[in-house]
Amino acid sequence: MNQEKSISLKRKPSVIISSIMLSLFIFSCGGPSGNSTKIDIEEIGQQLLVLDDNVQKEIAKSPLDARGEEKIVPRTINDDGSLRVVAGHDWTSGFYPGVMWYMYELTGDPEWKGKAVRYTSKLTKEMYNGSNHDVGFRMYCSFGNGLRLIEDEIYVPVLVQSAKTLIARYSETVRSIKSWDFNEEVWQFPVIVDNMMNLELLFWASEETGDPIYRDIAIQHALTTKKNHYRSDYSSVHVVDYDTITGAVRQKNTHQGYADESSWARGQAWGLYGFTMTYRCTKDKQFLEQAEKIAGFLLNHPRLPEDLVPYWDFDAPGIPNEERDVSAAAIIASALYELSTYTENGGELKEKADQILESLGSVYASPAGENYGFILAHSVGNKHGNSEVDVPLNYADYYFLEALVRQERLAHNKPVV
């Protein structure tokens, strides 16, 4: 696939899978020891309709968040068992509109398109939200998928402004995009491995506008991350903090993993996905080699379970009695489908992705009608901070559906992105 087609959403044709009764190699489940029954995308749709109904009920009861902003999308389940619905400023707000877009792509059903358009439109003002690096997550998963699928030109200026907002956080001295503004008593310029995921918005913006600044910043950020976040075994540190005056590395920490020296599972997944995408957008072999090495670390790790759904941290002290992180597994599966199209061992990588999807659907899926309608259960947001442990998360559902889309496209010999 040539670079222009891989980056430019505006020129990429929509691909809608024709049949709702689509075999997806996933299974409904009654738990790890229960009997599995094959399901189809229609059953996933029924689950998401339950979620959407519960979202509207929760908003009707409590329409504003603690900051007085309108609640919009579901994020997770709170410790007290209630549904957590968040406003547009939340870093996860783009995933639920993205779920709707992927359902539209998988089914062609205009009901999903209508929901996707409606939820996406509610995030418009977030194109100016430069409070952290997550503008890419918010806007590219929502408006980006929308532009790809329905080619609505009104999405273009929103995405371009979002890219402008993101690069405002770039430092020529550090040669990276600053991730966070909090913990200023500890960090000067923290950069997290997760930030690799936001670079796709920048590659798109250069293709769309013809201005190389977005692409140049994305490449430099990826190079800095490659240099400073990765250890000799190709595991990743979570947070690298830089000196704002010299650009030198001050410290390497974790914020969501077990320890500074450990390998937080979702961080490894973000890196795999991010470097695979960066290779697609640049065709620079060093990024492909980085992605292949990260995949090797993950897939050959002695503490990766047989079902390929990792523990929340590869170095968590209580393995095998630690929680799994389904969100990490979903991200890894989606990344492996794309990586499989670039590598000599692509068949093996695709088989691993297929196995992850089967595991997620057979053991880790929410029983029909439960968990408020989230598709998957058993994700871990931040065990280090005792937050969102063993719960559904909207980004787990997002990357699960993205992986299903990619699996189906590969089955029909179509590009995965």
How many Å from the N-terminal Cα to the C-terminal Cα in the chain? Answer: 9
Check 90, 194, 241, 325 and give the catalytic one.
194
- Those residues whose C-beta lies under 8 Å from the C-beta of residue 326, and which sit 6 or more positions away, are 309, 360, 364, 376, 377, 378, 379, 393, 396
Number of Cα atoms under 13 Å in the Cβ half of residue 11:
10
* Three-class secondary structure of residue 57 per DSSP: helix
* Three-class secondary structure of residue 82 per DSSP: coil
Number of Cα atoms under 13 Å in the Cβ half of residue 111:
7
Check 134, 325, 354, 397 and give the catalytic one.
134
Phi, psi of 218 (to 5 degrees): -60, -45
Does 325 participate in catalysis according to the annotation? no
As a three-state string, the secondary structure of 93-155 is CCHHHHHHHHHHHHHCCHHHHHHHHHHHHCCHHHHHCCCCCCHHHHHHHHHHHHHHHHCCCCH
Token digits of residue 381: 């947001």
Does 134 participate in catalysis according to the annotation? yes
> What b/e readout covers 311-327, taking b as 16+ CB neighbours within 10 angstroms?
bbbbbbeeeeebbbbbb
- Closest by alpha carbon to 383, among 310, 333, 282, 332? 310
Judge contact between 363 and 32, C-beta under 8 A. Answer: yes
Token digits of residue 4: 């222009």
Phi, psi of 8 (to 5 degrees): -85, 105
| 76 sits in which H/E element | strand 71-77
| Active site (catalytic) residues | 134, 194
